[in-house]
A and B are shown apart, each in its own frame.
Chain A
Amino acid sequence: MRTKMKISMLLLMVILLSVGSIAGIAGAEQEKKTIILGTSADYMPYEFHKTIDGVDTIVGFDIEIAKEIAKDLGAELVIKDTSFDALLPELTSGRVDFVISGMNPTEERRKSIDFSIPYYRAEQSIVVRKEDQEKYSTMESLEGARIGVQKASVQEGIAANIPNAQVTSLDKIPDLLLQLDTGRVDAVIAEYPIANANMDIETMAITDAKPVSENDEYAVGVRKGNEELLNSINQTLERLVQNDLVQKYVDEAGDLAAGRVKEELNTFEFFWKYRDYYLKGIQFTLLISALGVFFGFILGLVLALMRMSGISILKFLSTAYIEVFRGTPMLVQLFIIHYSLPAFDIKFTPIQSGILTLSLNSAAYLAEIFRAGIQGVDRGQLEAARSLGMSRVAAMRHIVLPQAFKAVLPAIGNEFIVIIKESSIVSFIGVFDLMYQSQILRGSTFAPLNPLLVAAIIYFILTFTLSKLMGVLERRLSASDHR
């Protein structure tokens, strides 16, 4: 009886927590007179994270421009930080109002969004290891070299025009510089201010080679057909360019970025210094995992019972559901739920999308686990219960399910552990979970290993604790087997 009370208390807490968090987030997004900027804040000095007076802040000259745009509109600026790849879907699905993120107005992008007039034109540069500075002093010398560039960037186009070059495309500049440092690429093509702000001047240098590109202007992106906003943005940009304010912002951002010193911290010191990031990440990871598991558990049980109900339409629906959700990648499901459903006016916050995806996905796996458990219970158990006058439901609830649950507990524990780890994919849509926090720290501290190592250790502690807890539960439930 007491354990039952405890479990129902726990369930109640989980439900209250989930309702609270979802309502809280929905409430926060409904404030009036705001304009939402989408940006990928890992691109120094355009936009990046910096701890200012102990508070994690997104800064950079793109951000300064966005502030001016918001000021001219008389609106409050809200910054939404997502991965660069997610910016276009964020904009087209209406989650952000405009995008400034060092984005080039390429023809391909113009197909899905509109661009303002260009506000900045950057100079390209080649970064190499210091000892190779002379070797790669011209563009021609790069022929056949291994070259690193940012994925889907202008530099990728430049690299493609270098004969026989082996091109490596990665998401983040720090990763590229790490590749250069460890000798996996020979040169990295990046914009001059970015290269200057990010590279380690002890070991790297910018060569005299001058890459040229036709499309190295930057512009503000808005949703197609949003003329009113576009006109206002263009007016602001014209004012800024005329008053030379853009160049001023670039210089200021460069100073901000240059203030960064490379820290020599061991893993523990690193964790301690940035513990606030990780603690916040743990909260989000635990929240979405717990709710994902909770709803997945309920839905999985319903699916398993539907599949075994003997009613063919229910059986078909359940089987189809399980096959589809087991047979497609969770990341694809997440993107469909978060970016494609808004086309039908169904808009979830990132946290809601994350919880929904984890629930729907784990339900498919848990349903099969439950089915195996139920089928594993001896038929005589159901017959004995029914012969005593119990209804099918009562027999399931008191006799079959408790035994089935006990038998599949190890498999359920396994699935819970998978969910905690897989929850890291929600960082793609901008949930501030553990993975997201470690990505921010990688971008802002340029420590190559520590941010991920700390995240890995925390994930391990979470899953290891869970597996121990499941072990305790297992031993308790099996008390009746051998005493």
Chain B
Amino acid sequence: MITVKDLHKSFSKVEILKGISAEIQKGEVVVVIGPSGSGKSTFLRCLNLLEQPTSGEIMFEGEQITAKNHNINATREKMGMVFQQFNLFPHKSVLENITLAPMKVRGQSRSDAEKVADELLKTVGLQDKRNAYPSQLSGGQKQRIAIARALAMQPHVMLFDEPTSALDPEMVGEVLEVMKKLAENGMTMVIVTHEMGFAREVGDRILFMDGGRIVEEGAPDQIFSNPSHPRTREFLSKVL
């Protein structure tokens, strides 16, 4: 579904990504782990071009999205993204947060968009917050709404950028629960996270990144029980 070939990204002469190649299959849950500064988030943000790669190419559903004249807005409709800092729209109610893009981008009618939104609110267990504003929600609730907002565009793939890192510990569970449900329903997902237990339980495949490269990849059991690369071993010994 997504093919990445020799992706490089530099920020004013500092090279963050030093040649990443990866393949993500439809229906697969890929979890990216690695130490801070290893380039995990940058890699994820390159996938929907929130960061413009310095070189390399990215194919999505057979289209080269890194091509000069590619319409990135159309591609982003099919790639949902969830951010560490939630980034809910503070001036809009929960319902408006979810219905805005379907109405403005897709041209859906208000009633259609609200029907979808109500379904999604049920999925994330927050029907009663329909008319609340983001400032009235807890961190965990905000992130669940952010997931619902991304899902409202009916994306083919969901990108998660450290979705639980800004949460109080007791709220991590509710967000992971929603993500697990998504994975069980066959959603294609790319997740950058520090939740190793979750990675092991839900992930189909683990990418371990360090120093701007994918050092090792494989099935969760193999990576967590029997890592082959010394750097992976070292990292896991620290976090597990």
Task: Name the segment of B24-32, B81-89, B169-177 touching the other chain.
Answer: B81-89
Determine whether the beta carbon of A390 is less than 8 Å from that of B73: yes
Contacts of B87 in A (CB 8 A): 378, 380-381, 383-384
Contacts of B101 in A (CB 8 A): 385, 388-390
> Which residues between 50 and 103 of chain B lie within 8 Å of chain A, taking CB atoms?
50, 73-74, 76-77, 79-81, 83, 85, 87-93, 100-101
- List 11 A-B residue pairs with CB atoms under 8 Å apart, sorted by A's residue number: A380-B85, A381-B87, A383-B50, A384-B87, A387-B50, A398-B104, A477-B91, A480-B135, A481-B90, A483-B133, A483-B135
Min CB gap A479→B, angstroms: 8
Contacts of B73 in A (CB 8 A): 386, 389-391
Which A residue's beta carbon lies closest to that of B100? A398
Given A386-B76, A398-B100, also A406-B136 (CB < 8 A)? no
Give which listed residue, B50, B88, B104, contacts A390 with CB less than 8 A: B104
B8 within 8 A of A: no
Determine whether the beta carbon of A388 is less than 8 Å from that of B149: yes
Determine whether the beta carbon of B77 is less than 8 Å from that of A389: yes
Min CB gap A478→B, angstroms: 9
Most A CB within 10 A of own CB, among B74, B90, B133, B153: B90
Min CB gap A38→B, angstroms: 54
Q: Give the CA-CA distance A402 to B92 in the complex, in Å.
A: 10
Interface of chain A, main secondary structure: helix
Q: Give the CA-CA distance A283 to B200 in the complex, in Å.
A: 74
A403 within 8 A of B: yes
Contacts of B219 in A (CB 8 A): none
A299 within 8 A of B: no
Given A387-B48, A481-B90, also A380-B83 (CB < 8 A)? yes
Taking A380-B85, A388-B100, A480-B91 as given, write out 9 further A-B residue pairs in contact, using a Cβ cutoff of 8 Å, ordered by the A residue number. Answer: A378-B87, A387-B50, A387-B83, A387-B150, A389-B101, A390-B73, A402-B91, A403-B89, A480-B93
Task: Number of A interface residues at 8 Å Cβ cutoff, please give it.
Answer: 23
Min CB gap A39→B, angstroms: 56
Determine whether the beta carbon of B50 is less than 8 Å from that of A394: no
B22 within 8 A of A: no
A399 within 8 A of B: yes
A482 within 8 A of B: yes
Q: Give the CA-CA distance A389 to B80 in the complex, in Å.
A: 9
Give which listed residue, B74, B81, B83, B105, contacts A394 with CB less than 8 A: B105
Determine whether the beta carbon of B136 is less than 8 Å from that of A483: yes
Min CB gap B18→A, angstroms: 24
**Complex A-B, nearest 5 residue pairs according to Cβ-Cβ distance, in ascending order:** A389-B77, A384-B87, A388-B101, A387-B81, A380-B87
Which A residue's beta carbon lies closest to that of B78? A389
Determine whether the beta carbon of A383 is less than 8 Å from that of B83: yes
Q: Give the CA-CA distance A483 to B100 in the complex, in Å.
A: 22
Min CB gap B13→A, angstroms: 20
Q: Give the CA-CA distance A55 to B10 in the complex, in Å.
A: 77
- Residue interface bits A47-61, CB-to-B below 8 A is 1, else 0: 000000000000000
Determine whether the beta carbon of A389 is less than 8 Å from that of B74: yes
Contacts of A477 in B (CB 8 A): 91
Determine whether the beta carbon of B105 is less than 8 Å from that of A390: yes
Min CB gap A395→B, angstroms: 10
Contacts of B85 in A (CB 8 A): 378, 380
- Residue interface bits B95-119, CB-to-A below 8 A is 1, else 0: 0000011001100000000000000
Determine whether the beta carbon of B83 is less than 8 Å from that of A389: no
Q: Give the CA-CA distance A398 to B76 in the complex, in Å.
A: 17
Contacts of B50 in A (CB 8 A): 383, 386-387
